[in-house]
Chain A
Amino acid sequence: MGPALDISMDYRNSDQTGAEHRLSVEPNCFHCGLPVPADLDLTAHIDGADQPMCCHGCQAVAEAIVAAGHENFYRVRTEVSPTGQDLLPGFLRDTEIYDVPSIQNQFIQSPGGDLREASLMLEGITCAACIWLNEQYIAGLPGVEQVRVNYATQRVLVRWHDSRIRLSEILQAIQRIGYRALPYNPAQQQEHHRRQRRQQQRRLAVAGLFGMQVMMLSISLYAGAWSGMEDNFQQFFRWLSLGLTLPVLLYSATPFFVSAWRDLKRLRVAMDLPVSLAIGIAFVSSAMATINGHGEIYFDSVVMFVFFLSASRYFENMARQRCAASVEQLVQSMPIMATRLNPAGDAEEAVPAAALAIGDRVLIRPGETVPADGEIIEGFSAFDESLLNGESIPLDKSQGDSLLGGSINVTNPLQMEVRAVGADTVMAEIQRTIERAQADKPPLARLADRVAASFIGIVLLIVAGVAIFWLLYDAERWFEIALSVLIVSCPCALSLATPTAISAALGKMQTSGLLVKRGSALEKLNKITHVVFDKTGTLTRGKPMLKEVICKSEFDRESCLQLAAMLEQHSEHPLAQALLREAGPVNSNASTQVTSIAGGGISARIDSQDYLIGSIEFITRQIDAEIPPPWLEQIAYEAVTAVVLVRGDTVMAMFTFVDDLRDDARDLVETLQHMGKSVMLMTGDRSATAMQVAELTGIDDYRAQMSPQAKMEAVQALQSADALVLMVGDGVNDAPVLSTANVSIAMGGASSLAKTSADIVLIANHLHTVARAFDMAGRTQRVIKQNMAWALMYNFAAIPAAAMGLIAPWLAAIGMSVSSLLVVLNALRLTR
């Protein structure tokens, strides 16, 4: 079951399902499982009994289900259903837009006459019973010809007569039984995948079925050769085999010929060349033998070779598509339609999501998907971002928070202002990143490719040599042996060994919240000796809270806070954010010439006076001012971060911040130390803070008060002592160190994805996934090694054996195909 399914179940707590819960004193809604408000007496007559309902929406849904005669649904379902919603006039109007031909063009096929076919995304599917219900219900609508629900992808394929029922009526009918369907616009990519998959299935089917016949005939021929067979039968069987091999050769084997020819035209030698040669030569010589009436035939080898090779290609393709499915899920989760509000916010219209522009106001209802990146301007709600970062618990967001396109609004309706659309959204960036990472081959894979390419050249030479040798030595067997060598030596397994493992691992890691930007990072991760952590935002939550404001007696707390906020208002630094949270509304126009100074400070002019804010070190470096010694004493032994505000040359106030440690920081450090890595902490913070964090997490080696530059130099120093360094840091602030380290992991969630140079981004924002990355890298490496070892062993053992004439062509065909099949299946273990 894919993560898509988990999301829909997250709407409701699924442990309210059991019958005993429904019968408990506090009645729960029979339909959706939510508690029924005490003063509400709503029931629906289901299966001969009145069942409690929590709202009119659920009641309407339950009654619609019963009226259509599908009470059975309630008996067989294993999860509660989504809460019913009243059919609002707004929704009715929204669905009617799908009847407009110009919009229909995007997602509807017309197979002929007034028949229309569309793929709909179905929301609210929680268990197999939902699928049953939807199929039964939709099929019962007059004018609907065919319905098919795909459990895996949660899509419905509907075919209907346009003259008898309109699409909007179908959508409304689905809404009536408590689900939500929206037209699904398959991206061309996926359509292409589907066609490719089906064509491969057809080729495989033809090769398998005809192959079986040929095999059967050749077994008879072998038996006949053994115990005697009349000549006319023998000839008949040989001609039959020829005829039955033809479809396999002409249909199933075409991809090999086509790609071999393409490579030849570009003067390259690749895998499909020896394959095509083997198939072609074997067939032609067998056909000649058949026509001449004497000589060996190898039709059985041809069909087997084609069948097994097609099968392993098919599995490889499926593995790749399964990885692509995680990307596909992202594309799928973007809605087609959005509800745009006019600037005053009092009128709404349904527009295609693609037509949204930056600055538009959008209304997002509960259950709807956020159509673009943006910021909440009115309302609050919880958002399910699991598709983007694997985070399964919906996040609470309120006014001013940013929303990611593709996340699902779980609880309340709200208004959003669009900030990024189309290719600029985080979603689009994630897709591009995954695709890039899959294209980035690790050095080992590149090596394997090169080896395979030169290997093929060598193989062709060996085949020629073997053929000449046997021609001189035993002229009767030369052809058979040369053919065996040609078949057995195809380095398919060798070149499949790495890429299949990598793509399987990347797909798996993405679903657990680790976005690998460079595939080669996976290999390097295994050799890491040192792990360096940044503190703020990495080991700690990165959400510092203002602890104290210490001001000189002539200033008051509030005005200092206000001034600091004016300076920091454009900064994205966590400390600035904490200040702003505390300061409340800020007069944003009063400050001018706001400049951020490298090294940790901001200067500005407010009311024609110069202000400066920054860390203690920064301030003492910048100006000639003394910070009151009692202040320094106070913070010397506290794990706080301090920021000082200065007017001209006068120190005005000091702000101290505390930052909580992440829950899983200690566990992770322990796990890493257990793996034998040296764990270090490097922070720009004061040593008191660093010491305390190091103590709490169990890190022995910590360095404090380091500028980004100093961190970079420290990492370089480690590297020159033969250490391979993994840097785990905050993507934006630690960019120089991250790019220096051998492998880098950036924290900070999906929103900083585009800005960071890290190899791996922790989109789930859980620290313990770092250990998961090591684990995955180790497993991937093991699988690659197994695959490589197997492929090399196979080739090295099989070629001499075949050259010595120990392997018959049919056996060679099985050996070669099984070896590549094994490699692919072994790689697929990583997806578990």
Chain B
Amino acid sequence: MEIIYLLIPVSLILLGLIVWILLWAVRSGQYDDLEGPAHQILMDEDKIVDRQKK
């Protein structure tokens, strides 16, 4: 069971990472518009030709 002394710190690091990601998401406004992305996902990205043009 001593493995728990390793596993728990690992999970805490993971927690820190998740918290950081979530705070970043909030800060960058990912939760501001919960409607648009639902539509955007249905749009195909540009054709490959378009990519080259850019």
Contacts and interface: CB of A to CB of B under 8 A. Distances in A.
Interface of A: 1, 68-70, 72, 76, 128-129, 131-132, 136, 140, 148-153, 157, 194, 197-198, 201-202, 205-206, 209-210, 213, 230, 233, 236, 240
18 contacts: A69-B50, A70-B50, A72-B46, A152-B36, A197-B32, A198-B26, A198-B27, A202-B27, A206-B23, A209-B15, A209-B18, A209-B19, A209-B22, A210-B19, A213-B11, A213-B12, A236-B4, A236-B8
A209 B46 CA distance: 37
Nearest to B26: A201
Contacts of A194: 32
A76 B43 CA distance: 7
A230 B27 CA distance: 42
Interface residues of B, number: 31
Contacts of A76: 42-44
A338 to B, nearest CB: 29
A128 B43 contact: yes
Given A69-B50, A72-B46, A129-B43, A230 B36 contact: no
B36 A69 contact: no
Contacts of B18: 209
B8 A205 contact: no
A151 B50 contact: no
Q: For chain B, what secondary structure do more than half of its interface residues adopt (helix, strand, loop), or is it mixed?
A: helix
5 residue pairs, one from A and one from B, having the closest CB atoms: A151-B36, A128-B39, A69-B50, A205-B22, A201-B26
A129 B42 CA distance: 10
Nearest to B34: A152
Contacts of A136: 46
Interface in B40-54: 40, 42-44, 46-47, 49-50, 53-54
Contacts, number: 80
Given A72-B47, A128-B39, A202-B26, A240 B31 contact: no
Given A69-B53, A201-B31, A205-B22, A149 B36 contact: yes
A180 to B, nearest CB: 19
A132 to B, nearest CB: 5
B23 A205 contact: yes
Given A132-B40, A233-B1, A233-B4, A213 B15 contact: yes
A131 B46 contact: no
Given A69-B53, A201-B26, A209-B22, A150 B32 contact: yes
B22 to A, nearest CB: 4
Contacts of A206: 19, 23
Interface of B: 1, 4-5, 8, 11-12, 15, 18-19, 22-23, 26-27, 29, 31-36, 39-40, 42-44, 46-47, 49-50, 53-54
Contacts of B32: 150, 194, 197
A150 B43 contact: no
Q: For chain A, what secondary structure do more than half of its interface residues adopt (helix, strand, loop), or is it mixed?
A: helix
Contacts of A240: 8
Contacts of B23: 202, 205-206
Contacts of A148: 29
Contact of A128 (B4, B5, B42, B54): B42
A136 B19 CA distance: 31
A8 to B, nearest CB: 15
Contacts of B47: 69, 72
Interface centre among A136, A152, A201, A206 (most CB of B within 10 A): A201
Contacts of B12: 213
Given A69-B46, A205-B23, A209-B19, A128 B40 contact: yes
Contacts of B29: 148, 157, 198
A148 B28 CA distance: 11
Contact of A205 (B26, B42, B49, B50): B26
Contacts of A70: 46, 50
Given A205-B23, A210-B15, A233-B1, A152 B43 contact: no
Contacts of A151: 33, 35-36, 39-40
A2 B18 CA distance: 33
